[in-house]
Amino acid sequence: MNQYEDNSLPIIIVITQNYDDNITDTMKKLIQEEFKTLDRDIKIVPVVAKEYVQIKKNKENIIEKEGIDDLIKISFEKSQKSIYPAFMKSIKEKIIQAFEIKTEEKKNNLKKELHENVDKILNEINENDNFDKSISKL
């Protein structure tokens, strides 16, 4: 059984090694273009997981880590929106199933009691009893 509604699981694309804003923007546009046919909410998160030292012509350029907090926040928000409805759907199905089982048990118990009561009444009726009284006992 599919636990999640169609298109409800989040798609989060992480651009790692996000060292160059121009390259990142180009990548984001390419990814958005590639996935635009999907009717889905796709989040693209640029990330630099740890500080990176870029050396060019003996000059150091330090690229600080960024995006991890955004990735965590978006991941929790998106997963909460998809998992909560699936959880509620699962709980609802289990409650319905338990109710059906209990209802069937009660129905079977009532049938058994009815059968026992009818047998008891029929056993108490004898040939000498008035026909109308015997029917009224039932």
pLDDT, one tens digit per residue, over 20-53 is 888 889 988 988 888 888 777 788 888 888 888 8
Domain count, the chain: 1
Residue 109: the pLDDT is 94
- Give which of 89, 67, 68, 87 is closest to 79, Cα–Cα: 87
C-alpha closest to that of 81 among 1, 5, 27, 2: 5
Show the domain range for 58.
Answer: 11-66
- Give the whole-angstrom CA distance, residue 62 versus residue 81: 37
Whether residue 56 contacts residue 28, with contact meaning beta carbons closer than 8 Å, is answered with no
Predicted local distance difference test score (pLDDT) of residue 97: 93
Per the domain annotation, does 19 fall within a domain? yes
Query: Residue 23 and residue 18: Cα distance in Å, rounded?
Result: 8
Specify if 129 maps to a domain: no
Q: Residue 134: pLDDT band by 50, 70, 90 thresholds?
A: low
pLDDT per residue as tens digits for the range 49-98: 888 888 888 888 888 888 888 888 888 888 777 777 778 888 999 999 99
Is the separation of the CB atoms in 48 and 64 below 8 Å?
yes
CA–CA dist 127, 138 (Å, integer):
15
> Rounded CA gap, 78 and 41, in Å?
10
Residue 7 confidence (pLDDT): 60
Contacts of 10 (CB under 8 A, 6+ apart): 41, 43, 75, 78, 79, 81, 82
Domain assignment of residue 110, yes or no? no
- Asked whether residue 127 is assigned to any structural domain, the reply reads no
Instruction: Output the pLDDT for position 1.
Output: 42
